[in-house]
Amino acid sequence: MSKGPIIILVEPQLGENIGMAARAMANFGLHELRLVRPRENWLNQKTEAAAAGADFVLHGATLYDSLKEAIADLNFVYATTARERGQGKPVHGPTDAASNLKIRIDEGEKVGVLFGRERTGLENSDIALTDAICTYPIDPGFSSLNLSQAVLIMGYAFRLAGNDATLPFGQKTRWPPAERGAVLNFFDYLDEKLEERGFFRPANKKHRMSMNLRNILLRIGMDEQDLRTLRGMIVRLVEGPRVPYSKQRKREAAEKAARDTSQDDET
């Protein structure tokens, strides 16, 4: 029993579209593809290139001479279309359609979703064989979708309906959150240096200005590295460029020599 709806493409003409549809299926865990009267030699190098590794979907596809044969063993079928067909069938968006399909699959039914030809879509006679219509909330001024895009949207909706939409990764943190004591010490240092340079003007607004700065910095949720970076940045702005290590050693040696000379003179 398939864990997802069977995807049925009616008379697809371009192998690349079939390949991209297979890729879209594989992206969202749909594996069973049925093709109704595809163009001759549809499975070629371009098709496989467009599938981008979803060859297992392509090579597992089943071919049918008629739509009736392709859906004969199914219990429920959606037809996808962007146009109202006047057939009085239930009309669902992809989210509701996917939820309906999920329920039916859980109850043991075999279900399918029908997609039409690249240029003309499904014919009324095709839709007459289905149970309901699935249409997408796209701009009515430009309602044409690529075949693989239509399959992709349905696959995504079904993935969400099955609660399988777990993201492959999330935000990673390299450093633990900064301790509040260290953050408060940084705030005190910042206040001190800003006060020295006349930032808090007028003086009666110092408290509010300082509080606003704290709120701004606390909103970013600083980790240990953030705090070290911010403090180091302020230190450099206050103290000026860092002296290269070699120059620092020379300066320290000169200062020591000067002190020693001074002591010799005193003696």
* Closest CA relative to residue 228, chosen from 172, 185, 171: 185
Greater confidence, 147 or 261?
A: 147
Q: Is 258 inside a domain boundary?
A: no
Instruction: Say whether 36 sits in a helix, a strand or coil.
Output: strand
Could you give the angle at the alpha carbon of 91 between the alpha carbons of 85 and 93, nearest 5°? 120
Answer for the pair 79, 114: CB distance below 8 angstroms, yes or no. Answer: yes
Greater confidence, 30 or 254?
A: 30
Q: Is 256 inside a domain boundary?
A: no
* Closest CA relative to residue 157, chosen from 134, 139, 123: 134
Asked if residue 122 and residue 36 are part of one domain, the reply reads yes
Q: Is 194 inside a domain boundary?
A: yes
Q: Is 53 inside a domain boundary?
A: yes
Region of 16 (left: φ > 0; alpha: ψ -120 to 50; beta: rest) is alpha
Asked if residue 190 and residue 144 are part of one domain, the reply reads no
Q: Is 1 inside a domain boundary?
A: no
User: What's the structural domain count of the chain?
Assistant: 2
Q: Is 249 inside a domain boundary?
A: no
Task: Give residue-wise pLDDT tens across range 225-243.
Answer: 999 999 999 999 988 887 7
Instruction: Say whether 247 sits in a helix, a strand or coil.
Output: helix
CB neighbour list of residue 90: distance below 8 Å, 6 or more residues apart = 131, 132, 133
pTM over 0.85? The answer is no
Task: Give residue-wise pLDDT tens across range 153-210.
Answer: 999 999 999 766 666 667 677 888 899 999 999 999 999 999 999 999 998 999 999 9
Q: Which one of 106, 138, 161 terminates a domain?
A: 161
Q: Which one of 161, 181, 205 terminates a domain?
A: 161
DSSP-assigned letter for residue 244: P
Asked if residue 177 and residue 110 are part of one domain, the reply reads no
pLDDT for the residue 213: 93
pLDDT for the residue 262: 65
Asked if residue 210 and residue 107 are part of one domain, the reply reads no
Separation between Cα atoms, residue 13 and residue 27, nearest integer Å: 22
Q: What φ, ψ does residue 134 adopt, rounded to 5°?
A: -115, 125
Q: Is 122 inside a domain boundary?
A: yes
Asked if residue 50 and residue 131 are part of one domain, the reply reads yes
Range of the domain at 40: 6-161
Task: Give residue-wise pLDDT tens across range 84-104.
Answer: 878 889 999 999 999 999 999
Report whether the peptide linkage leading into residue 94 is cis, meaning its omega lies within 30 degrees of zero: no
Asked if residue 118 and residue 35 are part of one domain, the reply reads yes
Q: Is 10 inside a domain boundary?
A: yes
- CATH number of the domain to which 154 belongs: 3.40.1280.10
Instruction: Say whether 159 sits in a helix, a strand or coil.
Output: helix
Task: Give residue-wise pLDDT tens across range 98-150.
Answer: 999 999 999 999 999 999 998 889 999 999 999 999 999 988 888 888 999 99
Asked if residue 192 and residue 147 are part of one domain, the reply reads no
Asked if residue 74 and residue 96 are part of one domain, the reply reads yes
Asked if residue 222 and residue 131 are part of one domain, the reply reads no
Whether 248 shows a pLDDT value over 80: the answer reads: no
Asked if residue 150 and residue 53 are part of one domain, the reply reads yes
CA-based radius of gyration for the chain = 34
Separation between Cα atoms, residue 227 and residue 232, nearest integer Å: 8
pLDDT for the residue 244: 72
Q: Which one of 110, 138, 161 terminates a domain?
A: 161
Asked if residue 133 and residue 19 are part of one domain, the reply reads yes
Asked if residue 184 and residue 135 are part of one domain, the reply reads no
